[in-house]
Structures are given as structure tokens and as C-alpha cells.
């Protein structure tokens, strides 16, 4: 028998509390059935002991009991995390007393039933709560299974991404050797191998970051004393060599030192610039601006000609996003999602907008990321 079928057939538990034995027996006779387990208590203290040991779908409490009445018992139940959400139906002979009803609902009752109790009404009301409890258990089981499946999928992606890197590195290395060939056709083929290899390497890195973010609740960072001006200057120098046809203008001002993970911030800037290359207008200038005038944070802007469709703006930082705003065969739609995860890990914020015919990504980084060893003047 499968687990869902077992859950559906498991008996639900119903707590009956009354200080009179004959009343308990009468209630039990009305509610007994093959799918219901009845827990009988003759006092509030005995009821609390049963509630500590059992997961109860419904509690039927007599209002008038010595020592601890039904209202006091209900208040104890609402004060405990374990029993806070147990539905309570009060049984009382004084149903016409409005003040008593107000007190009962204030104690957490979902309903009142007057004595003598109508059997059909009691069974109908109880069955509603029994069914809700069964559905709750089923939903909890399904959530647990789906959570487990997602975790296994993320672990599989992480392991696969890690294991793919070794053969991929060998392919890139072999391609780089073939690039030295005297034969033009061989060199062209080698260039394609190397370019494709690096593209796959970036996609694998994105998948690994996705797995890390989801399995660990975010991307881990190691903040150190960092000068973002040096990081940005290095990125520009590399871009000028690797992609001379796309002009990258760099503007830096103010104090750009702080405690960040320099490798991760470099990844953010490269992803945003690469995004601008892919989606900006051909041969247009990309602007990278770093502003360090604020005492407690640094602002970074990456902009390029061309606007982002309005319908794409709300979903830019979601993984595997659909729609027109996707890299043209260059990735998995994870770049901006990973950017957001890294910025979040630094306790920063990022947003995108269209301004004067250009798309602008602007992020703010506090000078001290969480986990920094030093907090003070930089």
C-alpha cells in the first residue's frame, strides 16, 4: 500500500472532554467509527496529558467542569504551539447566554453545540473537521516529498556540473593546442571548440551557483578588504582585449574600498556587462559607473543602448526566465538570477529600469558585507 493510501486510511483522533462519565459514553457512541480514534478525558488536566501525546483533529469540550472549565482548557490549548490550531467545539447547556458565547469564541472556539445534542448535527460537524485533518496530513506529506525531490535534483545538478568540468577542461586544452596549427581550417575548427568550451564552462558555473544558492539558502561569500576601482579597471582591460569591437566606458569616483568578496563582485560585473553585450544595440557603448561618495555604501551602474520590454522587467532576476529578454543561445537564463543572489549575500540591492533609451542596472553595496571581520573606517 502506498504512503498516500496509508494516510487516507489512518484513523483520525478526536478528544472528548467531560467530567460526567455518562456524557462521555454518549458522545463516544455518536462519533465512534472505523476511521476515528476517540480519546476520553474526565478533566482538563487529563485532557492536556492526552494532547501532549496525540495529534488531535478535533476537541469537544464541556464548558462546565470542576477545577478547570472548558474555557480555561481552551486557553491552555491556544497558548501551546502544539495544540494552537486544534479546532474546538464547546458543549454547553447555556447556549442562549450571549456573554458565555463571546467568552468561548474569545478562547478559540470554532462552534458551540447546545445540550441535548442533536446526533446528526454533531456527526456532520465533526466529519468536516476530520476530513480537513486528513487533507492537511496529505498536503504535508506531498510538500515533504516535493521538497525532497527538489533537494535531490539540486544535488544531482551540483554533482553533474562538478564532474563535467574535468572533460571540458581537457577539451579546451586540446583546442588551444590545435589553435597553433599551420592549417587555417584546423585553426578555425579549434577556435570554435575553444569558444564553445568556454561557453559551456560558463553555463556549468551558473548551474553550480544555482545549486549552491538553493541547497545552502544562498551563495556563500568571503568578504575581504577590496578596492572596486581596481576590480573594474581589470575587467575593462580584459574586455578591451577580448571584445575590442564593443566599447566599454569606465567612470569611477569617490572612495571605492570596502569589505566584499572580490571574486563574486567581479562575477556580478562581468555578468551585467555580458548581459549588456547580448541585449544592447550592436556596436553601442556600454557604460560602467562606480560611485563611492556615500559613506556607508557604493553604487554601481551598468547601462547600454536599447530598452528592456516592460513585461520582462518584473522577471529579470528569476532563473530560467521565459520571454524575449534571453541571451541568444549564450546561456541558461541564470546570469541575472546569480547576480541577484550575490548582491543579496552582500546585503545589497539591485534593480533594472529604462532611462532615455538605455537599459540601466543599478546596484548598491553596503561597504561591509555580512561576515566581514572588520567594521569601521576603510
Kindly report, residue by residue over 46-59, the tens digit of the pLDDT: 999 999 999 999 99
Instruction: Tell the residue number behind the cell numbers 502544539, with chain if given.
Output: 82
| Segment among 74-78, 174-178, 331-335 with least mean pLDDT | 331-335
**190, 202, 256: which is closest to 227 by C-alpha?**
256
User: Considering just the CA atoms, what is the radius of gyration of the chain in Å?
Assistant: 32
pLDDT score, position 50: 92
Who's near 107: CB < 8 A, 6+ residues apart? 71, 74, 75, 78, 88
**229, 38, 244: which is closest to 122 by C-alpha?**
38
**Is the predicted pLDDT of residue 236 greater than 60, yes or no?**
yes
Instruction: Tell the residue number behind the cell numbers 557604460, with chain if given.
Output: 287
Structure-model confidence comparison of residues 119 and 299, the more confident one: 299
Q: Which of 120-129, 282-291, 293-302, 325-334 has the highest mean pLDDT?
A: 293-302
pTM over 0.85: no
Say if residue 298 is exposed, middle or buried (CB neighbours under 10 Å; 0-12, 13-18, 19+): buried
**315, 370, 322, 305: which is closest to 343 by C-alpha?**
370
For residues 49 and 113, give the distance between their C-alpha atoms in angstroms, rounded to a whole number.
24
* The three three-digit cell numbers of residue 259, written as one number: 569589505
CA 81, 85, 91, 94: dihedral to nearest 10 degrees? 90
What are the CA-CA distances from residue 183 to residues 70, 113, 186, 187, 326 (Å)? 93, 93, 5, 6, 36
Percent residues over pLDDT 70 in the chain: 81
Structure-model confidence comparison of residues 51 and 203, the more confident one: 51
- Strands 297-305 and 286-292, by their bridges, are antiparallel
Confidence band (pLDDT; 50, 70, 90) for 97?
A: low
Section 187-198 average pLDDT:
84
pLDDT score, position 373: 56
* The three three-digit cell numbers of residue 64, written as one number: 462546565
Section 22-32 average pLDDT:
90
pLDDT score, position 247: 87
Q: Which of 98-107, 142-151, 269-278 has the highest mean pLDDT?
A: 269-278
Structure-model confidence comparison of residues 196 and 327, the more confident one: 196
pLDDT score, position 375: 47
Amino acid at each position: 500500500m502506498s504512503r498516500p493510501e496509508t494516510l487516507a486510511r489512518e484513523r483520525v483522533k478526536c478528544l472528548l472532554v467531560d467530567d460526567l462519565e455518562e456524557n462521555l459514553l454518549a458522545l463516544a457512541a455518536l462519533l465512534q467509527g472505523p476511521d476515528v480514534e476517540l480519546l476520553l478525558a474526565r478533566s482538563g488536566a487529563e485532557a492536556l496529558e492526552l494532547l501532549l501525546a496525540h495529534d488531535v483533529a478535533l476537541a469537544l469540550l464541556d464548558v462546565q467542569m470542576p477545577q478547570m472549565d472548558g474555557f480555561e482548557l481552551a486557553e491552555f490549548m491556544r497558548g501551546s504551539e502544539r495544540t494552537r490550531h486544534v479546532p474546538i467545539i464547546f458543549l454547553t447547556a447555556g447556549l442562549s447566554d450571549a456573554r458565555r458565547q463571546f467568552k468561548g469564541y474569545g478562547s478559540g472556539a470554532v462552534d458551540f453545540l447546545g445540550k441535548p445534542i442533536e446526533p446528526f448535527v454533531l456527526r456532520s460537524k465533526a466529519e468536516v473537521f476530520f476530513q480537513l485533518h486528513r487533507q492537511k496530513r496529505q498536503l504535508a506529506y506531498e510538500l515533504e516529498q516535493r521538497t525532497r525531490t527538489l533537494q535531490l535534483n539540486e544535488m544531482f545538478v551540483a554533482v553533474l556540473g562538478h564532474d563535467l568540468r574535468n572533460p571540458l577542461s581537457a577539451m579546451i586544452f586540446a583546442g588551444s593546442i590545435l589553435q597553433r596549427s599551420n592549417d587555417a581550417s584546423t585553426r578555425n575548427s579549434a577556435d570554435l571548440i575553444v569558444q564553445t568550451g568556454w561557453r559551456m564552462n560558463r553555463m556549468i558555473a551558473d548551474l553550480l551557483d544555482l545549486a549552491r544558492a538553493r541547497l545552502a539558502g544562498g551563495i556563500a561569500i568571503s568578504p575581504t578588504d577590496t578596492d572596486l576601482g581596481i576590480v573594474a579597471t581589470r575587467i575593462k582591460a580584459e574586455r578591451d582585449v577580448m571584445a575590442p569591437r564593443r566599447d566599454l566606458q569606465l567612470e569611477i569616483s569617490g572612495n571605492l574600498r570596502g569589505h566584499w568578496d572580490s571574486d563574486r563582485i567581479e562575477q556580478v560585473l562581468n555578468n551585467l556587462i555580458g548581459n549588456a553585450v547580448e541585449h544592447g544595440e550592436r556596436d553601442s557603448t556600454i557604460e560602467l559607473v562606480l560611485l563611492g561618495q556615500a559613506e556607508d555604501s557604493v553604487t554601481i551602474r551598468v547601462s547600454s543602448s536599447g530598452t528592456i520590454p516592460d513585461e520582462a522587467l518584473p522577471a529579470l532576476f528569476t532563473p530560467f526566465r521565459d520571454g524575449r529578454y534571453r541571451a541568444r543561445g549564450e546561456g541558461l537564463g541564470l546570469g541575472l538570477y546569480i547576480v541577484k543572489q550575490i548582491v543579496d549575500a552582500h546585503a545589497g540591492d539591485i534593480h533594472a529600469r529604462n532611462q532615455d533609451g538605455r537599459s540601466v542596472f543599478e546596484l548598491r553595496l553596503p561597504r561591509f558585507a555580512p561576515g566581514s571581520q572588520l567594521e569601521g573606517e576603510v
